Amino acid sequence: GENVEQHPSTLSVQEGDSAVIKCTYSDSASNYFPWYKQELGKRPQLIIDIRSNVGEKKDQRIAVTLNKTAKHFSLHITETQPEDSAVYFCAASMGNFNKFYFGSGTKLNVKP
Amino acid sequence: GAVVSQHPSRVICKSGTSVKIECRSLDFQATTMFWYRQFPKQSLMLMATSNEGSKATYEQGVEKDKFLINHASLTLSTLTVTSAHPEDSSFYICSAPGLAGGYSYEQYFGPGTRLTVT
């Protein structure tokens, strides 16, 4: 089955700095890569996603890049704010109606 | 649109008893739903795929006789934890792909159920 690895496990940045979280996946058949933000005791919230036919996608302060050859994808958050503090998960899926395999999570702490 | 609900949100049960968790798609039909388990400070681990009208598919290492899944209709899947033990205490989350019969990469997550076994 698919194996998704995520690094780092914790990340502390100063408000206004950028944060980068990286994931690798093992199955070349995976073609959909969402990123989720999860606050304690709540459901994961989709913040950005990318499909394998695209190398980069941006939404305001958040961007995701995908390198299919190397099987890795990254989340970039610029101009971080304290409200960005949460746990972030990457995931990989083989697309249409398919199950997700999650990375181990990154706890992001943005210090004011 | 695309709202998924779960019930109950929290449940406490005694060791050895069974507990049922419901997952409902409120405004769309879901022929497939997924069940995840999340231990404190850990990731979401896929337990099983729930299929309407057929048997669930379990991930390796998940006991199918312990975690019974029934996808009774196009909007409801249930997870029953049988003979629960303290090590089953966890946060259980379901999800459903967007639209049955359509083409959907995204999944919609329920709010989760916190199970505590005493």
Q: Give yes or no for a contact between A33 and A92, defined as CB atoms under 8 angstroms apart.
A: yes
Low-confidence residues of chain A, pLDDT below 70? none
Q: Which residues of A touch B42 (CB under 8 A)?
A: 104-105
Write out pLDDT tens, residues A62-85: 999 999 999 999 999 999 999 999
Residue among A99, A104, A107 with most chain B CBs within 10 A, to mutate = A99
Of A51, A100, A105, nearest to B107 by CB-CB distance is A100
Q: Do A97 and B97 touch (CB under 8 A)?
A: yes
Window 2-21 of B, Cβ < 8 Å to A: none
Q: List the structure tokens of A21.
A: 């979280």
Q: List the structure tokens of B78.
A: 């249930």
Of B46, B110, B112, nearest to A99 by CB-CB distance is B46
Q: Is B109 on the interface with A (CB under 8 A)?
A: yes
Tell whether omega for the bond before A8 is within 30 degrees of 0, i.e. cis. Answer: yes
- Cα separation, A57 vs A11, in Å, equals 22
Q: How far is CA B17 from CA A63, A75, B83, B88, B111, in A?
A: 46, 43, 5, 12, 24
pLDDT in tens, chain B (118 residues): 689 999 999 999 999 999 999 999 998 888 899 999 999 999 999 999 999 989 999 999 999 999 999 998 999 999 999 999 999 999 999 999 875 445 567 889 999 999 999 9
In terms of DSSP bridges, do strands B10-13 and B113-117 run parallel, antiparallel, or are they unpaired? parallel
Q: Is B43 on the interface with A (CB under 8 A)?
A: yes
